[in-house]
Amino acid sequence: MTVPSGGDDDFPKDPPGEKSASPDLVRVTARACPICGHPVEARYRPFCSKRCADIDLGRWVLGTYRIETNEAPDPDEM
Ligand SMILES: [Zn+2]
């Protein structure tokens, strides 16, 4: 993933007045929610909504839980 220097991508630049979404034309440059593919909302980046953020978080938590730490206290240590 290449990140261009410059921090002015807080929100997708959409020209006002032009709201004709063509199903054939898929914007590859536009960021899409990794969960559902909807346009990313700046407030819930990198997701489109809190729901998707929760879904991703849930996956993370589940994955984390799978890693069990068998850290038993050392009886030898004193
Ligand atoms: Zn989403």
37 lies in a domain? yes
Q: What's 43's domain CATH number?
A: 3.30.50.10
Q: Is 36 assigned a ligand-binding role in the annotation?
A: yes
Model confidence over 12-52: pLDDT tens digits? 666 666 555 555 554 445 689 999 999 999 999 999 999 99
Residue-number span of the structural domain to which 43 is assigned: 29-66
pLDDT at 56 exceeding the cut of 80:
yes
| CA of 47 relative to ligand 1 center, distance in Å | 5
Question: By C-alpha distance, which of 63, 62, 64, 38 is closest to 51?
Answer: 38
45 lies in a domain? yes
56 lies in a domain? yes
22 lies in a domain? no
- Binning pLDDT at 50, 70 and 90, where does residue 60 land? confident
pLDDT at 68 exceeding the cut of 90:
no
41 lies in a domain? yes
Please tell me the total count of domains within the chain: 1
Residue 27: what pLDDT? 46
51 lies in a domain? yes
| CA of 41 relative to ligand 1 center, distance in Å | 9
How many Cα atoms are found within 13 Å in the side-chain-facing hemisphere of 11? 6
Residues 6 or more apart from 15 whose CB is under 8 A from it?
Answer: none
